Amino acid sequence: MDTKWKKWLNFIAVFIVIIIMSVTGIYGAIECNKLGMIDGTVSLDSLEDSRESLFSDTASALIFQWASEKQGVANSTTYKGIFGEKELKEILRGAVVEAKLKIKPYGKKMKTIQETYGAKKADYQGGKITGIRMERDTSQKVKSDGSFTDTQTEDDGGAEAFYRFSSIYSESDLSVNIPEELLINSDKKQRLENGTITVKFTKQCIRNIETYYKERQKELQNIIKTAIVLAGIECFGSILLIILFALQERRTRFFAGIDRIWWEVIAMLVCSVMIAGGTLFAAVFYFSRQYSSSSGNTIQTSTVVETFMIISFMVIPCIVAIFAVCVQTTVWRIKQKKLLDTTLCFGYFRKWYRLSKERKRLEYEAMSFSKQHEKDRIKQYRTVRKILIVFIFLSICAIPYFSFFGVGMAILGVAAVRCLIRYSEQYAKEQKNLCKLIDQIDRISNGELTAQADIPKGTIYYDYSQKLSNIGNGMEKALQEQMRGEKMKIDLITNVSHDLKTPLTSIIGYVDLLGKDETLSPESRDYVQILNKKTERLKNIIADLFELAKATSGDMKVNLEEMDMRRLMEQTLADMEDKIHQAGFIIRFECHAKQTKFMGDVNRMYRVVQNVMENALKYSLKGTRIFVDIYEDPKSLWMEVVNTASYEMNFTEEEIMERFARAEKSRTSEGNGLGLSIADSFTKNCGGSFKISIKGDQFRVKIIFDKINNEKKR
């Protein structure tokens, strides 16, 4: 009960932990996914950027915004930095983009464009001004209409390669992303000759940018914190799982199967899981590093990082589960002291060694008392095996020096094959005969005692088959004799009883007629009375004798029915009321059993109870009581009849059961001594047992039957 409760508790705990871990994993994956969902593109690496690059980032975003609105740059390449749409609009209130561009449409005259974008009249005093100057690389060749010869580089997104950039207003290099369409635009058929873009920020704007930056940072930090906490939960859960598995008292089928796997495989699995996990984290780390070092392909790289994080959260539960199972089975093996046995290099070879030792011992034993041909077989088998072992050894050696050992291998192989062919032919013949012999044994054991097998004379199994046939024939003969004896016995009983009954019928008839004769003297009448009584007794004895003989010969058929022991006793007592009254005994009957049903033959069981009661009435001391009780235990049901004998019982329990044994040695009184024997035989015929015990003057009869199990019947 207690262990069952524990088992269930463990099971529930494991279930809960697994559910928590899966939920955490899914939640973590969603959180990581959010990283990419935040308005604007944000990555872990954005946090590490310096303040300076923050401004160039903002400038880039503003230039893109301007370019997309005024110059018709496609939206797909729009760069927004860490900002969202709303935030960028806010920034534009305190910032301005001033561009002065010299543009050369292909095959047309050069034109100059001057544009401003954003809050022109704001106070930029004390703010920040940054700018970039772009100039066409004159070393690049240009067609007569003004387009570039090498358009291939254009498609690669390498338009920047045709230009030289220099920053104005700031000491350090300003790295700003310039939309490519601004430089060379194949759709509009124009290019940029040179130009200057200046971006100004007011003080308020700078503060705003810093605030956004911090907000983003906080947001990111929160996500990462959550991720770390979730990862922690995963790790803790895995440890918990390992502990819970280790606490399990009995192994589930799953674990029992796992325990049988070589431990090396488990160890390898642990290693590979660890390597996989390590690789995953390393990959995440590597990609994030790479992103921070090259801000060129920001969008792409950050997506990769996030994907990796999502994957890692999905994969962690699996890795942890495998790890937990492996650790668990290892712990279990150590606990069971079976770790070495289940390893391949130690346990398997030890098992192999033990088996081969056992086989050798068996062979030795077989050799010590078997016949010559069996010895031969074992020897032959050994030869082949040895050759094959050497062959295997050589073949292992032959791997580096194939040319030399190859010849040896071939010769050995041929030898082995030749031996095997020769022996196997011999075996096949013997095997065939052996099968015939086995078939003969099977048939004999199935009752066909005279079964024969056609094994050719002179082969090794011929003699055995002959001996077996002799045994079978002998048994058949004995069986027939026994059956004939049994039949004779029953016939004898029937005939003798018939031969006894016929004259007795005449005697009874004539004694009766004699009694009806009115001319008889009173004396003769007394004699007839005695004759009447004695013939009656003789009749009973013959009947009893016949019944007993039949019961013990096993010829009697019993008709088993469900009976009630209590009812049987009550009926018998009521039936015998007159006799009991005449004998002057008091019978104390009590039933201590609740379920008193058993299987018996109704007529035989009546005889049993009647005989036992008659016996008790006959041999009890006057004035004593006869106790009749019915008891039960979970399996059986028994009836006890206890009486006090009127004489000293100078015999044993066994003696009284012998036929014709009588309570007194002198055989004068009524009864023929067959009563208890009949009761005993009948009880046994019905499947019960009959026991007599004597203690001082107490004579106790116990009749035991198996209870009918009600549950079984249902």
Partner 1 sequence: MNQPKILVVDDDKEIVGAIKKRLEMEDYEVFAAYDGLEAMDFLMEKEIQLLIIDVMMPKMDGLSATMKIRESKNIPIIILSAKTEESDKILGLSMGADDYISKPFRPDELVARVKSQLRRYLQLGSMIKQEEHKNQIVNGGLILDTDGKRILVDGEPVKLTATEYKILHLLMRNLGRVFSADEIYERVWEEEAYAVENTVMVHIRRIREKIEIDTRNPRYLKVVWGIGYKMEKMA
Contact between 301 and partner 1 per CB under 8 A: no
Which residue carries 């073949």 as its tokens?
395
Give min distance, CB of 531 to partner 1, in A: 13
Q: How far apart are CA 614 and CA 486, in angstroms?
A: 32
> Which 475-494 positions form the footprint of partner 1 (CB under 8 A)?
494
Q: Does 704 bind partner 1 (CB under 8 A)?
A: no
677: Cα separation from own chain's centroid:
57
439 binds partner 1 (CB under 8 A): no
Q: How far is residue 365 CA from its own chain's centroid?
A: 39
The verdict on 571 binding partner 1 (CB under 8 A) reads: yes
CB of 571 to partner 1, least distance (A): 6
How long, in residues, is the chain?
714
Q: How far is the CB of 602 from partner 1 (least distance, A)?
A: 5
Residue from 304, 394, 508, 657 in contact with partner 1 (CB under 8 A): 508
Backbone phi, then psi, for 394, in 5-degree steps?
Answer: -65, -40
- Residue 605 within binding range of partner 1, rule CB under 8 A: yes
Q: Given candidates 289, 359, 567, 667, which one binds partner 1 under the rule CB under 8 A?
A: 567
The total of other beta-carbon atoms located within 10 Å of residue 400's CB is: 7
Name residue, tokens 């899966």.
22
Q: Which of 101, 96, 89 is nearest to 129 (CA)?
A: 96
Q: Among 204, 173, 210, which residue's Cα sits nearest to residue 82?
A: 210
CA distances from 111 to 10, 146, 150, 190, 597 (A): 82, 13, 23, 11, 121
Closer residue to partner 1, CB minimum distance, 273 or 538: 538
Which part of the chain contacts partner 1 (CB under 8 A), choosing from 400-408, 439-447, 566-574, 618-626? 566-574
Residue with tokens 């050759």: 387
* Distance from the Cα of residue 91 to its chain's centroid: 66
Examine residue 568 and tell whether it contacts partner 1 (CB under 8 A).
Answer: yes
At closest approach, how far in Å is the CB of 569 from partner 1?
8
Shortest distance in whole angstroms from residue 557 CB to partner 1 = 8
Distance CA 521, CA 523 (A): 5
Dihedral, 636, 641, 642, 647 alpha carbons, nearest 10: -130
Q: Which of 235, 268, 602, 621 binds partner 1 (CB under 8 A)?
A: 602
Measured from the CB atom, is 486 or 655 closer to partner 1?
486
Minimum distance from residue 691 beta carbon to partner 1 (Å): 20
d(CA 78, CA 39): 13
Task: Please tell me whether residue 565 binds partner 1 under the rule CB under 8 A.
Answer: yes
Stretch that binds partner 1, among 128-136, 138-146, 441-449, 498-506 (CB under 8 A): 498-506
CB count in 10 Å sphere of residue 29: 20
Is residue 506 involved in binding partner 1 (CB under 8 A)?
A: yes
Q: Of 11-19, 102-110, 387-395, 556-564, which part binds partner 1 (CB under 8 A)?
A: 556-564
| 509 scored as a contact of partner 1 (CB under 8 A) | yes
577 belongs to the binding site for partner 1 (CB under 8 A): yes
Q: Which is nearer to partner 1, 346 or 631 (CB)?
A: 631
Planar angle of CA 373, 378, 384, nearest 5 degrees: 125
CB atoms within 10 A of CB 128: 19
Residue 708 binds partner 1, judged by CB under 8 A: no
Binding mask 320-359 for partner 1 (x = CB under 8 A): ----------------------------------------
Q: Which of 516, 581, 635, 665 lies at the binding interface for partner 1 (CB under 8 A)?
A: 516
Q: Is 706 in the site for partner 1 (CB under 8 A)?
A: no
Nearer to partner 1, 115 or 499 (CB): 499
Which residue, 176 or 613, is less far from partner 1 as judged by CB? 613
Judged by CB under 8 A, the chain residues 523 through 552 that form the site for partner 1 are 535, 539, 543, 546
Residues touching partner 1: how many (CB under 8 A)? Answer: 39
152 in helix, strand or coil? helix
DSSP-based helix, strand, coil % in the chain, nearest 5:
60, 15, 25
CB atoms within 10 A of CB 393: 11
300 binds partner 1 (CB under 8 A): no
Is 504 near partner 1 (CB under 8 A)?
yes
Q: Residue 168: beta bridge partners?
A: 131
| 512 is a contact residue toward partner 1 (CB under 8 A) | yes
- Helix axis angle for 51-66 and 85-92, nearest 10°, is 90
- Residues 660, 651: Cα–Cα separation, whole Å: 13
Nearest Cα to Cα of residue 343 among 271, 265, 251: 265
Least distance between partner 1 and beta carbon 670 (Å): 17
Q: What residue ranges bind partner 1 (CB under 8 A)?
A: 494, 497-498, 501-502, 504-510, 512-513, 516, 535, 539, 543, 546, 561-565, 567-568, 570-575, 577, 600, 602-603, 605-606, 609
